Structure 1
Amino acid sequence: MPTYSLSAGLFIFDSHSKPTGDPIEALERTATAGFQETELMAEGEAWDEVTQGDLGRLKSALEHSGLFPHTLHAPMSGIDLASGIEEIRRHGIDEMTKSMRILAELGGRTVIVHPSGRPGPDENAYSWENIGAAAERAHASVSELVKVAETTGIRMALENLPMTGLPCRPVVSMQELRALIAGFPAEQVGLCLDTGHARICGLDPAEQARIAGERLVALHIQDVDGERDCHWVPGRGVIDWAALGQALTDIDFDGAWTMEALSLEADVSAQEVATACAALRERWASSGMA
């Protein structure tokens, strides 16, 4: 039976994709929706406040809610492990290090990492001529973070990212990501498959899962319309979920099935999305989805 988890991002991001939610309240609402595991979201001022110094409030909230923090999504805003500006790249490494240490203290297992960001105004835009160098910088960043993984006992999971608004991007497919992490120990570095990101890049999520194989340790389950990063509850969009379930069975995937549906539409509340995710979890479990 799969272990289902709900991303706390559902209660953190508003309909404008701004991280305005409170992480303590997000845990309470996740538990109320009937989930026992969650993916923490390290975004927003409230997260920074609750993780300053002592993590007592966060620990108490986890204990009170009965939630296991299976994964933590490391910061994304202003983060670029593949940046050509060394100050930006080093800032990313520092933030990943902080996230890994926080999750270790909370008793979790895996930190979700974006291997690249979006070039800022002072950087060259991605092109087919420079994404190879960007991938090399991402590799160098992960190489440094492996040492942190060893000391904390926390594993990184590099996520496949969309090319929305970009002509190209380094390491967007599982083929490229597997090549990037090939030299790193599986205990410290794995992969996270975002189903929606794969689909809007023209890739089949089920095939991508098979390519990731034994290095796949985390999932972001969300549906899309084929073009936009919608973060819909599965079943609303175009992804073949039965095929994905079979692929995950075939590779003996044993990580959490993390639902990363968001309420990015003003007429749909986060609680409605959470309720829909919980209902889907029950349908999938009863139908033997995986």
Structure 2
Amino acid sequence: MTTAHSSRVPTLDRLRVGSAPDSWGVWFPDDPLQVPWQRFLDEVAEAGYEWIELGPHGYLPTDPAVLRAETGRRGLRVSAGTVFTSLHRGPAVWDDTWAHVSQVAALTAETGARHLVVIPSFWRDDRTAEMIEPAELTADQWRELASGTERLAARVRDTYGLEIAVHPHADTHIDTEANVTRFLDATDPDLVNLCLDTGHYAYCGGDSVRLIETYGERIGYLHLKQVDPEVLADVVAGGVPFGPAVGRGVMCEPPRGVPELEPVLLAAQGLGVELFAIVEQDMYPCPPDQPLPIATRTRRFLRSCGA
């Protein structure tokens, strides 16, 4: 018999829920503060997830046969790889960018995944807060960013059969609602889609539901996370860079933060297309026993939302 409560839970059958190394405190290919990759794979499966991302290139095995064997025997599949780019810097960075992207894209395609998440480079150092370059792009740099992203998307698609999803991110040039919409309006919708990270967008003052409702046809991928509004207020007031902000716990376990994920999930379901919804709770560094209980509770929470 269906209870009154369960009858109100929507069926979000177009969302493919997964998690990522980020949710285990993994930011680098190799770091003594991070759990070994075997433990990550064991625990992400134990927490109830089927899909994972590759994380920083070199953290998981880069031999495709080994990677497929290790994920397959745990019942896991790969949804995407991730790259960092500095395409606003123009043609001078293209060769180095493609060398990095092609390495990650090749491995991603070998796993059977069809998405490549593209994160813009930071304008200030993630650890020291040193300014790397101005926080705002010039008009010429915006043009280079748009044209370079389109060029990258076309080549990744034609060479590896992958679709790129550009990830707005704190402390990058694609961050606030104004900058995200400027980027979307400047790029070809047939080539360039967005990875909407609910936590980063909230961190930068954006409304994820409104973005989905306004630019739904451009949302190609989702990262699910929340921010702690009290910690965020202190971070913003103090001009704290993203890395130390994470250390302060600015990204928190759902449903303790913002944005509310239920409306975001409903809006994403309403797009009528299949979307990956990958949990990514930034927690670098963190104690090795901390991620699994959080990941398990988060998966249970998402199931209670219908996902």
User: What TM-score do you get using the length of structure 1 for normalisation?
Assistant: 0.79
Q: Does 1:243 align with 2:263?
A: yes
Q: Secondary structure at the match of 1:244?
A: helix
Query: Take 1:171 and 1:239, find their aligned partners in 2: how far apart are those partners?
Result: 16
Structure 1 contact 111–154 (Cα < 8 Å) conserved: yes
Q: Alpha-carbon deviation of 1:265?
A: 6.9
Q: Alpha-carbon deviation of 1:85?
A: 8.6
Q: Does 1:56 align with 2:65?
A: yes
1:252 to 264, 272, 281: 272
Matching of residues 89-238 of structure 1 within 5 Å:
90-118=95-123, 124-127=133-136, 130-145=137-152, 146-163=154-171, 169-170=173-174, 172-173=176-177, 174-181=180-187, 183=188, 185-186=190-191, 189-226=192-229, 227=232, 230-238=250-258
Judged with a 3 Å threshold, the aligned counterparts in structure 2 of structure 1 residues 102 and 93 are, in CA distance, closer, same or farther, namely same
Structure 2 contact 90–145 (Cα < 8 Å) conserved: no
Cα deviation digits, residues 165-194 of structure 1 (max 9, x gap): x7xx3464342232233x2525xx321101
The one-letter code of the counterpart of 1:234 is P
Query: Take 1:255 and 1:243, find their aligned partners in 2: how far apart are those partners?
Result: 15
Instruction: Name the counterpart of 1:11.
Output: 24
Q: Secondary structure at the match of 2:210?
A: helix
Matching of residues 77-92 of structure 1 within 5 Å:
79-83=85-89, 86-87=92-93, 90-92=95-97
Instruction: Name the counterpart of 2:53.
Output: 39
Judged with a 3 Å threshold, the aligned counterparts in structure 2 of structure 1 residues 213 and 46 are, in CA distance, closer, same or farther, namely closer
Query: Take 1:98 and 1:241, find their aligned partners in 2: how far apart are those partners?
Result: 34
Query: Take 1:117 and 1:93, find their aligned partners in 2: how far apart are those partners?
Result: 18
5+ residue gaps, structure 1: none
Query: Take 2:175 and 2:22, find their aligned partners in 1: how far apart are those partners?
Result: 24
RMSD: 3.0
Judged with a 3 Å threshold, the aligned counterparts in structure 2 of structure 1 residues 149 and 85 are, in CA distance, closer, same or farther, namely closer
Structure 2 contact 90–148 (Cα < 8 Å) conserved: no
The one-letter code of the counterpart of 1:217 is G
Q: Which structure's relative contact order is higher, taking Cα pairs within 8 Å and 6+ residues apart?
A: 2
Q: Percent of pairs identical after alignment?
A: 20
Structure 2 contact 54–78 (Cα < 8 Å) conserved: yes
Aligned length: 267
Query: Take 1:270 and 1:3, find their aligned partners in 2: how far apart are those partners?
Result: 21
Query: Take 1:214 and 1:194, find their aligned partners in 2: how far apart are those partners?
Result: 16
User: What TM-score do you get using the length of structure 2 for normalisation?
Assistant: 0.75
Judged with a 3 Å threshold, the aligned counterparts in structure 2 of structure 1 residues 222 and 266 are, in CA distance, closer, same or farther, namely same
Q: Alpha-carbon deviation of 1:266?
A: 4.5
5+ residue gaps, structure 2: 1-12, 233-244
Judged with a 3 Å threshold, the aligned counterparts in structure 2 of structure 1 residues 265 and 99 are, in CA distance, closer, same or farther, namely closer
Q: Alpha-carbon deviation of 1:251?
A: 2.3
Judged with a 3 Å threshold, the aligned counterparts in structure 2 of structure 1 residues 265 and 11 are, in CA distance, closer, same or farther, namely closer
Q: Alpha-carbon deviation of 1:21?
A: 3.8
Cα deviation digits, residues 195-215 of structure 1 (max 9, x gap): 111112111111112223112
Q: Alpha-carbon deviation of 1:5?
A: 0.8
Farther-moved stretch of structure 1 (232-241 vs 243-252):
243-252
